Amino acid sequence: MANAPTRAILIAGGAGFIGSHLAERLLNDDCRVIIADNFVTGSRQNLEHLASNPNLTVVEANVREPLRLDKALADSVLAEIYNLASPASPKHYQKDPIDTLLTNVLGAHNLLELAAKHGADYFQASTSEVYGDPAVHPQTETYWGNVNPIGIRSCYDEGKRAAETLCFDHARKRGAKVRVGRIFNTYGPRMARDDGRVVSNFIVQALAGTPLTIYGDGKQSRSFQYIDDLVAGILAVMRQGDMGPFNLGNPDEFTMRELADKVLAMTGSKSQIVTEPLPQDDPTRRCPDISKARALGWEPKVALEEGLQKTIEYFRGLV
Amino acid sequence: MANAPTRAILIAGGAGFIGSHLAERLLNDDCRVIIADNFVTGSRQNLEHLASNPNLTVVEANVREPLRLDKALADSVLAEIYNLASPASPKHYQKDPIDTLLTNVLGAHNLLELAAKHGADYFQASTSEVYGDPAVHPQTETYWGNVNPIGIRSCYDEGKRAAETLCFDHARKRGAKVRVGRIFNTYGPRMARDDGRVVSNFIVQALAGTPLTIYGDGKQSRSFQYIDDLVAGILAVMRQGDMGPFNLGNPDEFTMRELADKVLAMTGSKSQIVTEPLPQDDPTRRCPDISKARALGWEPKVALEEGLQKTIEYFRGLV
């Protein structure tokens, strides 16, 4: 009896923070994984511990162009595509905003075309940023959002919104097998230390003994999701039949000030806290309603202290 | 003394309803005009009365790809680009929603690149649809809108929002000379009779003696701007220094029912009025605050009856 062809899984943006964790999890599950990344914000360092795995293939590619995977696929069948290809922190996505928008729009389109060609399931990494500076709390997936279309964050927000549009139109018009997850603030090992996000900023600053920077009055809240919870959520969304969108986040809210205090206490740092003005269009509050994802049997399990502990250990190892 | 090179003006989507009126106006002003159109919703018939004008060049092209204008430009200098290239009625833009979104995003990007190459001023035809189903009335340009990112109208709404994003990022990052006009409901001669918009629908139905179709209860209001007013508004926005966005519309509001009654009275039609369910995400009310454009010295001048009369005459000529 001939062997069934191997199923392969493509992770676009697989060298990034989330992508590398998703790859690790899928490799641990004995899947064959192809990572496509242009290494602009993703890094080869994120993949070092996976490099010796024979089930992993890494392709340098830009999703703004159609991918050529024939060689990487060899005899396997492309069964799933995860589109995580975009810079994701304001600092990085604002560096080349035109590229950010086009990467999100063309990346989604090209990967949806690839999914159609191979009959693959497609996961779109969307974002809580589609809600902008939300006027309702917590945010449910039916909320249409409050996004400034012409502000300095809009390259990402509008790019991700347009990518969702493409997903649903590919599903409605071409029968694409799409799942959309709206990812809220996520943290953990392998966050880029320079990407300007609050958890990595605070930890890096605390460990270095430099002041922790709070923007605005520090009362703006965020929910923080540990990366392992997110990866479980992505797989839960992908491996069921509803397109979504599904919020994927941890609904426990903390203010920036609370987070700073926690990081200082857990690192034993003597750093001061300093304040700077709030950047333009920075949302004052954001918190997911995750009823819909919960109904799939998923929920976040890692408490903030536990996740922070692991993340602090990671950054200690780098210092 | 050598002659100064001729200034040329590119109208992308120039064979459409708005584009053909803008071309006519610019040709009457003795400008050299290049129309680029793929003739998917634009028509050669719209340009028939201009075809003999030696100042007009028509190029068949799709703005999803970079335009090649060397031959059309000859010795002239590209001074202005008007981007009107998109299907614009729900019926047309929903036919191929993926193409609609990509045309708006890539069209804006490619034409902004072209503007950069030639140092040309760039006008972006945006739309009241960026406000979606607005929660505030009338809409000012600072309102961020209420758009469903995954609904059946989102290919157009999100495509236009993302195009605005590109305009502002091209301006911020590359110094593009951009003007953005958000165009509200506009009517007049050369509307496509089959595009499903309410003014043309009602007139065509009234003249044919078939029932006038009202969607929902007919109490949803719209403001209707006559095409000549819009063309004057586009030029007023283009030929000053503020990027905008500027609302371009007529703030006089009428309900669908009032419009139907007016068309029946003015055509002397004996057509009945029938109702059908409201389409998904159809906005219940939309009306521009035009203070910003008024400050440029522009305002709509054509009353609804006067504009309807001209439009009815046009459609009578076609019957």
Lowest mean pLDDT among A43-47, A82-86, A195-199, B258-262: A195-199
What confidence score (pLDDT) does residue B49 get?
94
Task: Indicate if the pLDDT at residue B278 is higher than 60.
Answer: yes
Q: What is residue B36's predicted lDDT score, i.e. its pLDDT?
A: 98
Cα B76 to Cα B318: distance, rounded to the nearest angstrom: 37
Measured between beta carbons, the chain A residues lying within 8 angstroms of B151 are 168
What residues of chain A lie within 8 A of the CB of B107, using their CB?
A: none
Residues B257 and B219: beta-carbon distance below 8 Å = yes
Asked if A219 contacts A255 with a C-beta cutoff of 8 angstroms, the reply is: yes
What whole-number percentage of chain A has pLDDT above 70?
A: 98
The predicted-structure confidence for B81-132, as pLDDT tens digits, reads as follows: 999 999 988 888 899 999 999 999 999 999 999 999 999 999 999 999 999 9
Q: Which residue in the set B109, B149, B168 is minimally distant from A164, CB to CB?
A: B149
pLDDT tens, position by position, A46-55: 999 999 999 9
- Of A82, A93, A122, A156, which one is the catalytic site residue? A156
Asked if residue A161 has pLDDT above 90, the reply is yes
CA distance A246 to chain B (A): 13
**Total CB pairs under 8 A between chain A and B:** 109
Q: Is B155 close to A165, i.e. CB distance below 8 A?
A: yes
| pLDDT given for residue B47 in this prediction | 96
**Which residue is closest to A157 within chain B, CA to CA?**
B162
Selected for mutation to probe chain B from A86, A144, A154, A182 (highest B CB count within 10 Å) is: A144
Picking from A132, A146, A168, the nearest residue to B150 by CB comes out as A168
- Dihedral sign (CA A42, A43, A49, A52): positive
The nearest alpha carbon in chain B to A106 belongs to B102
A194: pLDDT confidence band, cut at 50, 70 and 90? confident
SS3 state of residue A118: helix
B158 and A154 within 8 Å at the Cβ level: the answer is: no
Closest residue, chain B, to A147 (C-alpha): B144
In this prediction, residue B196 carries a pLDDT of: 82
Give the residue on B whose Cα is nearest the Cα of A153. Answer: B165
Contact B155 A173 (CB under 8 A): no
How buried is residue B71: exposed, middle or buried, by Cβ count under 10 Å (0-12/13-18/19+)? Answer: exposed
Read off the DSSP letter of residue B278.
P
pLDDT at B3 over 70: no
Cβ-defined contact of A150 to B105 (cutoff 8 Å): no
More confident residue, A215 or A231: A231
Degrees to nearest 5, angle at CA A147 with B291 and A289? 140
- Known active-site residue B314: no
At residue A2, does pLDDT exceed 80?
Answer: no
Pick the catalytic residue: B131, B156, B187, B226? B156
Residues of A in contact with B170 (CB under 8 A): 98
Q: What local confidence, expressed as pLDDT, does residue A1 receive? A: 47
A225-257: pLDDT as tens digits: 999 999 999 999 999 999 999 999 999 999 999
Calculate helix-pair angle for B97-118, A154-174, nearest 10 degrees: 140
Give the right CATH number for A7-186+225-250+286-301 from 3.30.1490.20, 3.40.50.720, 3.40.50.880, 3.20.20.140: 3.40.50.720
Distance CA A138, CA A289 (A): 5
Cβ of A97 within 8 Å of Cβ of B152? The answer is: no
What is the average pLDDT across A175-199? 92
CB-closest option in B97, B161, B180 to A158: B161
* Reported confidence tier of residue B222, pLDDT bands at 50, 70, 90: confident
* Interface residues from chain B to A (CB-CB < 8 Å): 96-98, 101-102, 105, 109, 130, 132, 144-152, 154-155, 158-159, 161-162, 164-170, 172-174, 180, 245
**Cβ-Cβ contacts under 8 Å for B283 (sequence gap 6 or more):** B131, B132, B133, B134, B220
Nearest-Cα distance to chain B for A243, in Å, is 11
Both tokens of A199, joined, read 């958890």
Helix (H, G, I), strand (E, B) or coil at A165: helix
Residue with the two structure tokens 């999701």? A225
In chain B, which residue's Cα lies nearest the Cα of A113? B98
Please judge whether A98 and B109 are an interchain contact, meaning their C-beta atoms are less than 8 angstroms apart. yes
pLDDT at B1: 47
Backbone angles phi, psi at B230, to 5 degrees: -65, -45
pLDDT of residue B247: 98
Taking only the tens place, the pLDDT of each residue in A289-311 is 999 999 999 999 999 999 999 99
Q: What percent of chain B has pLDDT over 90?
A: 85
Between CA A10 and CA A13 the distance in angstroms is 9
When pLDDT is cut at 50, 70 and 90, the band that residue B204 belongs to is very high
**Which of B126, B144, B148, B160 has the most A C-beta neighbours within 10 Å, making it the best mutation to test the interface with A?**
B144
Residues on chain A touching B95 (C-beta within 8 angstroms): none
Given an 8 Å threshold on Cβ–Cβ distance, is B158 in contact with A165?
yes
Of A132, A155, A161, nearest to B158 by CB-CB distance is A161
Class of domain B7-187+224-251+286-301: alpha beta
Nearest neighbour of B155 by CB, restricted to A97, A152, A169: A169
Of B154, B162, B174, the CB nearest to A159: B162
Q: Do A149 and B167 touch (CB under 8 A)?
A: no
> How far is the first Cα of chain A from the last one, in angstroms, to the nearest whole number?
54
Q: What is the 3-state secondary structure (H, E, C) of A94-108?
A: CCCHHHHHHHHHHHH
Mutate to test the interface with A, among B165, B174, B281 (most CBs of A within 10 A): B165
Whole-number pLDDT of residue A3: 64
Residue A278, pLDDT > 90, answer no
Interface of A with B (CB under 8 A): 96-98, 101-102, 105, 109, 130, 132, 144-152, 154-155, 158-159, 161-162, 164-170, 172-174, 180, 245
CA distance to partner chain B, nearest, from residue A95 (Å): 9
Q: With beta carbons under 8 A apart, name residues in chain A contacting B144.
A: 132, 146-149
Residue-wise pLDDT for B6-47, tens only, equals 899 999 999 999 999 999 999 999 999 999 999 999 999 999
pLDDT single digits (tens) B223-243: 899 999 999 999 999 999 999
Q: What's the rounded Cα separation, in Å, for the pair A107 and A97?
A: 15
Q: Of B257 and B284, which is predicted with more confidence?
A: B257
Helix%, strand%, coil% for chain B, nearest 5: 40, 20, 40
Q: Where are the alpha helices (DSSP H) in chain B?
A: 17-28, 70-73, 90-93, 97-118, 154-174, 198-208, 227-238, 256-267, 291-294, 304-318
Q: Which of A98, A173, A245 sits opposite B166 (nearest CB)?
A: A98
Q: How long is chain B?
A: 319
Answering whether pTM is above 0.90, one says yes
Q: Say which range, A151-165, A254-268, B274-288, has the weakest mean pLDDT.
A: B274-288
